[in-house]
Amino acid sequence: MESRPSTPSEARHVLALASRNKREANELLAGLPLDEQVRLVCEAPLSKRTAILELTPEPEAVIPLIPEAELCFTVKATGISDASWLMEYATPEQIAACVDLDVWQGMTPVARSFESWLAVFAEAGEETLLRSAQILDTELVVLYLRAAVEVSLKPNDDESWQPPEGGQTLDGQFYLVPRDPADDIAPLLRLLSVLFRRDYWLYFRMLQGAIWELESDLGEWALRWRTGRLEELGFPAWDEAMRIYGFVRPDQRGEIPAASHPLDIEAWHLPVWMPELPAVGKRQLAIFRAAGELDEGERSAFFFAFVSMANKVAIADRMPLGDADTLPAAIEKVAIVASSGLEYVATQNHLGLPEVLRRATLERLFRVGASLDPEAVRPPPLEADIQEDGEQGDGEDPVAR
């Protein structure tokens, strides 16, 4: 076994070894540095990652080093009952990122998705459940509360008041009734029970918010907090991301903006495990042919610029950020569209492809490529964004079931 495991086949080798002799597999992993253990986990198939983590001598040291999105993919692929223990060792940033990436559809939180993660936190134990509630945006939790249950507060000056039929209470003051009798609100009740015992003021704030706060205000603030965190992971706000589809007029498509330094880019934190850009099928696209002719420093800058563009596509196209297939799909779209723009600009200026990469930003090349065939490239509007009269709507509901 090489000292630097870096392929899925090596992960399979470790698992095969474990099936024959678990002690030897443990010893093999124990002999690797932490960063190599992380590499082995992240480059294993999603369904096998928890098995490898269980073989590591100190999973509590490995899990916090897993990129945020990769932990999200791993939990989803493995399932609540088998992967919830991972959240015991997750960092606050990982917990918040899992929810930020997977609970939202476009700019709208989805109650069912939040419910799934709440079940993960509850299954992981009381400490994890409490820590997650304190990490997540209160506005988002209150939005879920409003979607899941109707909350009533016992008045102090009405002795004739009767609790709502089917209402459940922890304190004799707040009563909860499921909006859908078929819903299982046990994880929610467990969350509120933990908060009631160990963080009463957060418990009180959430239930009061479920009664009195406006959904529009809650949704706006939850989106604002989430947008800020996603920007730190390289995902821009939606309106900024949509700039990549700005139409370039035919007479301007061949232009290369002056004083542009497209490869003057520093490395930044990636929420996914991607040591290098994957090839898009077996096609020799122009963008990758050109990148292959750059020097080492330029290729590194190109790598981060390319991932940044893929993130913009994922946001602009409202792709599900919590799905493992999203980034490969976004990368493929960037490669195809930017290659089209690159070849067009190179032809118009009688320049080689690598020279164009050194002088024009990837966003510019993508915009040119998108403008050559906008109907095929631009994402279709969501039905929720279109009113019956055909005009653009003003957004989506603050929370969706």
- The model's confidence at residue 401, banded by pLDDT at 50, 70 and 90, is low
- The model's confidence at residue 346, banded by pLDDT at 50, 70 and 90, is very high
Query: Residue 237 above 60 pLDDT?
Result: yes
Q: What is the pLDDT of residue 312?
A: 96
Q: What is the pLDDT of residue 392?
A: 45
Query: Percent of the chain at pLDDT above 70?
Result: 91
Who's near 268: CB < 8 A, 6+ residues apart? 234, 304
- Which of the pair, 337 or 381, is modelled with greater confidence? 337
Average pLDDT rounded to a whole number, residues 65-82: 92
Query: Residue 363 above 80 pLDDT?
Result: yes
* Least reliable range by pLDDT among 39-48, 56-65, 107-116: 39-48
Average pLDDT rounded to a whole number, residues 142-160: 91
Q: What is the pLDDT of residue 160?
A: 86
- The model's confidence at residue 83, banded by pLDDT at 50, 70 and 90, is confident
Query: Residue 283 above 70 pLDDT?
Result: no
* Least reliable range by pLDDT among 2-6, 158-162, 314-318: 2-6
Average pLDDT rounded to a whole number, residues 277-293: 78
Average pLDDT rounded to a whole number, residues 63-70: 96
Q: What is the pLDDT of residue 275?
A: 80
* Least reliable range by pLDDT among 98-112, 133-147, 380-394: 380-394
Average pLDDT rounded to a whole number, residues 373-377: 93
- The model's confidence at residue 351, banded by pLDDT at 50, 70 and 90, is very high
Query: Residue 57 above 70 pLDDT?
Result: yes
Query: Residue 280 above 70 pLDDT?
Result: no
Two tokens, residue 122: 């509850």
Q: What is the pLDDT of residue 383?
A: 59
Q: What is the pLDDT of residue 399?
A: 62
pLDDT tens for residues 170-209? 999 999 999 998 888 899 999 999 999 999 999 999 999 9
For the chain, the average pLDDT equals: 89
- The model's confidence at residue 18, banded by pLDDT at 50, 70 and 90, is confident
Q: What is the pLDDT of residue 3?
A: 39
Q: What is the pLDDT of residue 101?
A: 97
Going by C-alpha positions, the residue among 201, 191, 213 that lies closest to residue 122 is: 191
Average pLDDT rounded to a whole number, residues 280-291: 78
- The model's confidence at residue 1, banded by pLDDT at 50, 70 and 90, is very low
- Which of the pair, 279 or 18, is modelled with greater confidence? 18
Directed axis angle between helix 92-102 and helix 111-124, to 10°? 150
